[in-house]
Every structure is written in C-alpha cells, then in structure tokens.
Amino acid sequence: MPLADDFLDVRTHGFARVAVCVPQVRVADPTFNADAHLILLERVHGQGAHYALCPELGLSAYTCGDLFFQETLLRTTLDGLARVAERTARWNLLFSVGLPLVVDDLLFNCAVTLYRGRPVAVAPKAYPPNYREFYELRWFHPAAAARATEVTLLGHRVPFGTDVLVRAGHLPDFVLHTDVCEDLWTPVPPGTIAALSGATVLANLSASNVTVGKLEYRQELVRASSAKNVAVQMYSAAGFGESTADLAWDGHGLVAERGEIVGETERFSLTGNAVTVDVDLRAQVEDRLRQSSWGQNAAHHGRTLRIVDVGDAADAREVGVYHRFLRRIEPHPFVPADPAKRDVRCRETFLITATSLARRLEALPEETRRVLLGVSGGQDSALALLVAAHAMDLLGLPRSRIMGVTLPGFGTSKRTYEHACALVRALGATLREVDIRPLAGEMFASIGHDPAVEDVTFENVQAWARKFLLFSLASQERGIDLGTGDLTELALGFSTYGGDHMSHYGVNAGVPKTLVSELIRWAAEQIFKDEPEVAAVLQGILDTPISPELLRLGRGGEIAQRAEEIVGPYELHDFFLYYFLRFGFGPRRIARMAVHAFEGRHALATIRRWLDVFLERFFANQFKRDCLPDAPKVGSGGSLSPRGDWRMPSDASAAAWRAEVEKIPQEPGEQRARPTLVEARARERRSGPRRR
C-alpha cells in the first residue's frame, strides 16, 4: 500500500530497513533454535525491519554431521520452521532462515524465505564446499543436482532453485536474492547473476567458522560484493552454540551497500545478537543508471529469473518507528570521520593536485616553469600555495619560482595581509605586492561608478582588477597563473566571471570547502612538518573567518564581509552538493538526510532555506562552469568540469527543484501544500539569478 507523504518517514525517501540476526544455537535441537530465532526476529520486527537474514542451517545447527541423515532431526527441523512461520504470520516482516530439506530424494542445504506465515521461496546451496574443514558433500547435494523447480513446504507450493527473486510491493526498489555461504566465496556467485538480473538486496546465509584473519577477509568479501554488484550485500554467520569439536564460531553479521559496511553485529556474543540498519536502495538505482558498464554487463550476463511478488500489505507498526534513521549519515561526506581514513583522503587529494600541477609544469619549456598566484591570507589560496610548493619540490625546482602576490584592496584586513606575506616567506617563495585600488579606481572612473557605493559592481571590479594584474604578471614573468577557487565556490557561483573564476590551471577546483581546511591541517603536519614557521602561519589562517574581502572593513579594522553569512554554511552546501551531484537526489530527500546528519546543529528550517539558495545559485551560475580552466578531478563525489562529470545547459530552469523545496516543511511533522510549477517559475523570475 502506498505510504502517506510523511517527510520524516524514512521509507518515503527510498530507504528499506533490514536486519541480520545471529541467534544462539543448540546442535540438533530445532525447537530451541526456532525459539532463539523468534527472540531476535521479534526484536528486529519491533525496530521496524522489513527484511531479516538468519544463518545457514540455523534451525538445525550447521555442525550436526551424520545426524543430518536422521529422520528425527529432519522432521523436527520442519516442525521448527512451522513454529516460526505460525508465530510471524501477522508480522509485516520478510525473512530467510536456513535448514536441511529433502527434495527429489536428495538432501539440500537451503535458505527458506517466509512472509506472513508462509514460505515464498527456497534456494538450495549451489556450491557445497568439500575441502579442509568442510565436508558438506558427504551430506548435501549441490543445487544443480535437483530436478524439481517447485516444492511443497508447509502446505504451499513454493519456487525452488537459485533463480528466484522475491519482490515486495510495499518496498520500492527492493528485490531479494538469497544464496548460501560458499556461494558468495566463488568466482561467479549466484548473487552476482541475480544482481545483473534485477536483484538489489543480496542475502547470504552462512555458517563460517572463525579463524585468525578471517574477519578482515569476510569484511572485504562482503564489501566487494556490494560494490561490484551495486547492491546491498547481507551476511549472517553461525554463532555461539555450534559444536567446537574442531572449530570455533564468532557469529559475524554484516550489511554493506555500494562498497561500504553500514551495519555489523557484535561478535562472540553468548546469547545471540542482531543489527538493524536502513539501507539506501535509491542510491543503488541511481548508481546503476550512471554506470554504463554495469548496464552493459547486465545485458550480457543477466538472465530472466523467476519473480515472487509478496504483495503490499499494510504495516501495523507505529509510523514513529520510521521517524528516525537507523544508520549514520555523515554530515561531511567529503571528509571521512575516521581519523585514519581522513589522513588517507588528505594524502590522496594533496598528492593528486600536487603531481597534476607538476605534470602541467613539466609540459612547459623549462624556463617557463613558474607559478604565480594571488595569496589573500585565506584558506583557498593557502592550499594552492602549499600545493605549488610541493610540486616544485617534486620537480626539484626552487620554490623561488613561485610568486605569491598579495593584492590588497578596499576590504583587505591587516590580519589576512600579514598571514599572506608570512606564508609566502615561510615557504621560501617570491613575494610580490600590487595594490589593486589605483586600478580599480580608474575602472570606476571610466564607467562612472561611485566607489562609495558597495554594490556588486564594486566587488566585481576588484576581482577583475586582481585577475588582470595576475595575468599581466604571469606574462611578464613567463609563468602560469594558478587558480585558487574550490569546488564549493564553483557550485555556488561564488566567484566573479572572468575574475577569480579564471586561471591558467586550477588546482583546487575539485576540492570542496570542507576538505580544504582538513588538507591544510594535514599538510602542515605531514608535508611541511619540518617547517614550523609554515605550520604556525597555517594555524592562524585556519582561525580566520572566510571572506572574499571585497567590502570595506569595519570601523575597528575587522572583516565586514563573511562568506557564510552571504551564501550560507559551507558544511550544508557541501552536503547538498555531494548528494545532488553524486547521486542526483531530489531536494526533499537531501533535506531529510540533512536533518539526521546535522541533528542538533542545523534546524530543518535552516536546512530548507540554504538548500533553496544552493539550487538557485547552482542553476543560475552554470555559465561560469561552462568555461572552466583545466583542473584535476579529485574525489568520486564528482567534479564540475564541462569536460568531465557535469554537462548542463546554462539556461536550464530550477523551477522543478525549487517547487520540491516548497514541499519541505519548515518544522518536522508540518504538512505543506504543493506549489505548482507555474508558481515556482513565477517565484524564480521574482528572485532572479544573483550573479557575480
């Protein structure tokens, strides 16, 4: 049944809630095992799970050995399945359990998927292992040995085979495929074929004993499967209670999506454990749309599989269960929260930009391998200067070939001016100063503009004066002008066309604002760790408010123009940019994710306000991005180069996106009327594009 248009409900934004259960197990005791399964299934159902995965042979236990041939064990295992089915008949929970099953007078290791008290699919293990500690072929036959394509189970005819997908109408984009343990470890897993045939959730029922080093291998296996298949990969291994005659068990459960682990159980629990997490199915669909090679591979290897549709029954659980995400959404998607990963990201980014600049310089005649850049005392120009210094070091050229130019204007503060000069000197670059005010004054006089009026023209003329002088110096010095503008500024159009938006090469163009600060900190600690004067200046720069310094200073000489007061918090804009550019998500979904990511820091009304500004500015300023200078792409989040990730008409309308913003409530729980596109276009005309 279709869901109500509830902004807070995570289900309305393309997420599904899944769980991995690792119940306590007792060898050859299906009654105990069924009850242990029900304990965890009831728990995750109460948490709002739509699908739950349990371990391989969990109803019988994996380590039964020759007891698998005992009539009593097989019969009581079916009784345990019936018990679980009966107890869950009223739940809106799809789940898979493992048990031995006789089909065609052969024994199979099976995954049985149930919904509302009845089995809907049975998947036999395709590749039972028979090496080292595994002897499964002693008891179980591979799926290929079966003749039947359907079985009667608990009184129902059920599809049987590795070629069955389960679809849930109440979960858009949810298409399930199950396989068993070793199947995932093979070169061509059944799950891969299923993903190429339409499955979005791959579930692997596993036993998997634990040995030293296996933890990391499992994690990499599950992560890699989710990445290459552009799918959710779930994994549930047997836990406490399996026989330890020759093996040990850790009860490892994992959920990964698109190459990242998003949920993991606590291992070595003596009482069973589970993890419940919201998985992003819409992101998968968006990725599959973009990855043309994935589509080509699907066309070549995908098959027509059987599909079981379990319907779309109403969910009796309280809607409030879905008003909070059960997953972490990073507020800074460009900057890893984990310090170790952040260091790796900074190293990669810094070296990408430095080696790219080195390559560009190497392509020039030796005597012209010089760099000029405007150094303002702000973060962007500081990062570009650090990159230029390292590029020169890599090439074995003296840093004196870098000319750091201070260009004081009407809004230049004493603090930033001193930072600029100190950083150039500390790095051993060449310092040059050119005051832009005389040239700007001549331009004002030429066009008859009153310099006392601090309007857009007042700002733009200064930006053009700076760029004209930098290009002139580059010509005089026979070097290249290095751009300092970053990815966030390009997205917002917060740069002057033909002014700070232009250069001979832009090293920061792929670096978002939130990453710039981290790169400066990292470079101070790693690349320039033996130059304490550099680190000292950089700390001062990081402590200074971000400003274009194009308006006159306050009475006390303080900076009067703060960028984030004009365009909004950069951390929000980077969040918007990542999900808009990387996945193509709509404003409503981005806003809901931002509410969770920035809980306690930015209210919904604030998020909504600046999201509208982001969209307005992004669409209005495409003309600047259409003629960007060369610059290296840095992250998988994308770039805005017209020769790379982003191609868009500069006269495209933002009306549809801004109309969707209007549907976002000002406060959680508020319902808003939907504006028409005509109303949105009228609003767009009234606001007009704010261009610099």
Q: CB neighbours (10 Å) of residue 627?
A: 12
Element (H, E) at 35: helix 30-46
Angle, in degrees to the nearest 10, between helices 570-582 and 513-525: 110
Let me know how long the chain is. Answer: 692
Instruction: Give the span between the Cα atoms of 578 and 584, in whole angstroms.
Output: 9
198 bridge partner residues: none
Amino acid at the residue 331: P
Dihedral, 427, 429, 433, 439 alpha carbons, nearest 10:
-110
What does DSSP assign to residue 126? S
Q: Tokens 């010089």 — which residue?
A: 370
Tell me the H-state helices in 403-486: 414-427, 437-447, 456-477
Q: Which residues contact 536 (CB under 8 A, 6 or more apart)?
A: 426
Handedness of CA 583, 586, 587, 592 (dihedral sign): negative
DSSP character for 315?
P
- 566, 545 in Cβ contact below 8 A? no
Both tokens of 561, joined, read 């123009």
Q: What is the DSSP letter of 364?
A: S
Q: Which of 54, 56, 136, 624 is catalytic?
A: 56
- DSSP class of 602: S
Decide: 50 and 168 in contact? Cβ < 8 Å: yes
Collapsing DSSP states into helix, strand and coil, what is residue 459? helix
Task: Please state, in angstroms and rounded to a whole number, the distance separating the CA atoms of residues 569 and 571.
Answer: 5
Contact 118, 154 (CB under 8 A): yes
d(CA 482, CA 633): 16
Q: Of 419, 495, 489, whose CA–CA distance to 462 is shortest?
A: 495
> Counting beta carbons within 10 angstroms of the beta carbon of residue 260, is it exposed (0 to 12), middle (13 to 18) or buried (19 or more)?
exposed
**Annotation says 531 is catalytic:** no
According to DSSP, the β-strands at 402-406 and 371-374 are: parallel
DSSP readout, 433-456? Answer: E--SHHHHHHHHHHHT--TTS-SH
- Residues 361, 356: Cα–Cα separation, whole Å: 9
Active-site residue (options: 54, 64, 110, 125): 125
DSSP 8-class letter at 392: H
Cα(458)–Cα(444) distance, rounded to whole angstroms? 8
Find out whether 37 and 71 touch, Cβ atoms under 8 Å.
no
From 501, 442, 436, select the one nearest 462 (Cα to Cα).
436
Q: Please list, residue by residue across 644-682, b when 16 or more beta carbons sit within 10 angstroms of its beta carbon and e when fewer do.
A: ebbeeeeeeebbebbbbbbbbeeeeeeeeeebeeeebbe
The helix/strand/coil state of 303 is coil
Given 21, 64, 110, 181, which residue is catalytic? 181
Is residue 256 classed as helix, strand or coil in its secondary structure?
strand
Question: How many angstroms separate the CA atoms of 249 and 54, rounded?
Answer: 15
Active site (annotated) includes residue 56: yes
Catalytic residue numbers, as ranges: 56, 125, 181
